[in-house]
Amino acid sequence: MNVMTKEPIIKANNLYTLPELGYSYDALEPHIDAKTMEIHHTKHHQAYINNLKGALEKHSDYKPGSLDEIISDLSRVPEDIRTAVRNNGGGHYNHSFFWPLLKTGVAFEGDIADAIKAKYGSYEEFQKKFSTAAAGQFGSGWGWLVVSGGELEIMSTANQDNPLSQGKMPVLGVDVWEHAYYLKYQNRRPDYLQAFFNIINWQKVNEHFLKAVK
């Protein structure tokens, strides 16, 4: 579906605002520790916003729409700032998408649960495939569950790339940059991914899914 018809994650008039998490830094303990959440949100996410602003300010003639529109068609971004916008706009988008996906104690249910079971056979099989893809992303990047051509698909992207740039609609994403887990898990990315499955806000994933298949 066309991203323009969807409520944007980051609106054009709000490009440079750090979104609130909507929960406290220790809300995801013990799965993700408070210190990691605080640094991740206030330092890493903020830095992407600052750098995006710095890049876009070099082009006062370029009037971007929502961040969703920018990420969906990077070819419209002026060439000399395209890489900076891809990396930092992507970072801003991905983290803004990520925070609301995290919550403890949300049941795996709804249309998304039915679709996952239909596609992958079981929750366990989905978890295995998703975790393998995310763990196998070489270096920094993200693991994703997306809707592509009306079908669920598991994929990963490098750096701060987002599936939207490939015409795919993300419904679930996990940050596998070391800054997302190193304080608590050090080099054990698979342990972090296992913990991640305890804090997926399936209600939010379901919202993304319903919009993507509409």
Give the interface with Mn ion as residue ranges (CB under 5 A).
175, 177, 180
The residue among 99, 130, 136 whose CA lies nearest residue 112 is 130
Give the nearest distance from C-beta 91 to Mn ion in angstroms.
Answer: 7
* Helix or strand (DSSP H, E) at 182: helix 182-185
**Can you state the angle between helices 90-98 and 46-56, rounded to 10 degrees?**
150
Give the nearest distance from C-beta 204 to Mn ion in angstroms.
Answer: 18
Q: What is residue 175's three-state secondary structure?
A: strand
Query: Residue 106 in contact with residue 200, Cβ under 8 Å?
Result: yes
Give the nearest distance from C-beta 172 to Mn ion in angstroms.
Answer: 15
Q: Within 13 A of 208's CA, how many CA atoms are on the CB side?
A: 25
Give the nearest distance from C-beta 45 to Mn ion in angstroms.
Answer: 7
- The whole-angstrom separation of Cα 183 and Cα 162 is 25
Of 97 and 177, CB closest to Mn ion: 177
Of 52 and 112, CB closest to Mn ion: 52
The residue among 101, 98, 128, 124 whose CA lies nearest residue 113 is 124
Query: Residue 21 in contact with residue 37, Cβ under 8 Å?
Result: yes
Of 37 and 152, CB closest to Mn ion: 37
Of 68 and 175, CB closest to Mn ion: 175
Of 177 and 196, CB closest to Mn ion: 177
Give the nearest distance from C-beta 27 to Mn ion in angstroms.
Answer: 17
